A and B are shown apart, each in its own frame.
Chain A
């Protein structure tokens, strides 16, 4: 694939200096089951962070909390210094934001799912322009031409009028990436985006993501089992176990010289 110009979709807002994402004392419980407890970390603007760890270690939950797909049980998440779902009130009490306030900040975040989750009742191009038209208020023509160039960039320029269900898994996932990028997100969350794909289709999807990584400064949080890909695109890797970060470092250091015993075992099992 030629290297496309994705730079015009790069996000620029926010004051430099404030981290893009802050998790502060984050807690998530499902019933009695505590998934995250007292979790804190920061992600800088433009930084690409890969979350690794055994299943059930809370990686996906972190992405879902950021996307407001799960409700925060405790603590705070900040995006560009602004609270996402809960804020500390003046009296120090933790209060939930109103849905409208949440919606405003959520717009800066996009997500690509393991199961693509394209809307089967819309064509490929309709999938992509749906949110730009109805959330960002773009005109249909404007959204369409942007969607077309995105489709070109993910190598599906001629499939716009087709039904998503007629595409292969890899093609569907590339459409899903284009759909997320059409919202010009500052933060892109990638939740095991190649796990549901046949092995021969993984390459194309990762290729598209590499291009996005190389040509934009979108902040990315990735959960993936593709360690080579993680090594190539991410600035930092965080190893999770039972809801805690047990080790974090640059990818080269993490993969070639893991410090923690759990990390060593995990990497041995997966590589």
Chain B
């Protein structure tokens, strides 16, 4: 077996297209969503009455402790498909779009549970004096969160949020479970057609490495810098 540059040359544009159109889109959109949801969970866990907060914590732990591929299958084939939303599509492209949306939701939910933990750490790192000063100034609870706690917690949690986003990025091939044409599934297809996988899988690995390693380094630097 030898390395075939022509396969690599043909595969690279297709894979990069899938990378930018699917892998990256899912990662970015789902990261933003999970960062928002995670914040909502973190505040909810602190502010909701005891019983409700326990229910939320349990739901989050269910989401966190079950595999994404299974969650994707459940979301696509047990929850969405019976509604007809997946089948009533006019084109393959639209069908795939909808699968991508399902994928984004599943990734956003799963990683929101981890990000909620990051925010919780950030919130707990804020000294009690900050809460006390807000009380002494009679700031309403809402305003205290908005103006005092969240900005500080955000800053403390940022590197950790970034790291979860990188972890999510490397999990995107799980989308193969519901046949979303992301980069690795494209690689698999090309490899199958040429009866040679070494080129495509090497390229896929390199793309992941090239995209994630510098971001990870950035987060490690950020971690040291972002301290009040």
Identify which of A110, A115, A116, A131 contacts B139 (C-beta below 8 A): A131
A189 to B135, CA, bound (A): 13
Does B75 interact with chain A (Cβ within 8 Å)? Answer: no
A246 to B228, CA, bound (A): 43
Q: List, in ascending order, chain B residues with CB within 8 A of A121's CB.
A: 148, 151-152, 155, 228
B151 x A115 contact (CB < 8 A): no
Whose C-beta in chain B lies nearest to the C-beta of A132? B137
A113 x B138 contact (CB < 8 A): no
Does B136 interact with chain A (Cβ within 8 Å)? Answer: yes
- Bitwise, A102-124 to B at CB < 8 A (1) or not (0) is 01001101110101111111100
Does A69 interact with chain B (Cβ within 8 Å)? Answer: yes
Segment at the interface with A among B23-31, B115-123, B126-134, B183-191: B126-134
Whose C-beta in chain A lies nearest to the C-beta of B137? A131
A130-B138 contact in complex given A113-B133, A121-B155, C-beta closer than 8 Å:
no
Does B143 interact with chain A (Cβ within 8 Å)? Answer: yes
Does B147 interact with chain A (Cβ within 8 Å)? Answer: yes
A111 x B138 contact (CB < 8 A): no
Q: List, in ascending order, chain A residues with CB within 8 A of B132's CB.
A: 67, 69, 111, 113, 117
Nearest CB on A from B189, distance (A): 49
B147 x A130 contact (CB < 8 A): yes
Q: Which of A107, A120, A135, A179 has the most CB of B within 10 A?
A: A120
Does A165 interact with chain B (Cβ within 8 Å)? Answer: yes
Nearest CB on A from B15, distance (A): 42
A121 to B145, CA, bound (A): 13
Q: List, in ascending order, chain B residues with CB within 8 A of A118's CB.
A: 133
A122 to B151, CA, bound (A): 10
Q: List, in ascending order, chain A residues with CB within 8 A of B151's CB.
A: 121
A267 to B139, CA, bound (A): 39
Does B49 interact with chain A (Cβ within 8 Å)? Answer: no
- Bitwise, B153-187 to A at CB < 8 A (1) or not (0) is 00100000000000000000000000000000000
B129 x A130 contact (CB < 8 A): no
Nearest CB on A from B158, distance (A): 13
Q: Which of B129, B132, B139, B228 has the most CB of A within 10 A?
A: B132
B137 x A135 contact (CB < 8 A): yes
B140 x A69 contact (CB < 8 A): no
What are 24 A-B interface contacts by the 8 Å CB criterion?
Answer: A67-B132, A69-B132, A69-B135, A69-B136, A103-B138, A106-B135, A106-B138, A107-B138, A110-B137, A111-B132, A117-B129, A117-B130, A119-B130, A119-B133, A119-B148, A120-B152, A120-B228, A121-B155, A122-B147, A130-B147, A131-B139, A135-B138, A180-B136, A183-B137
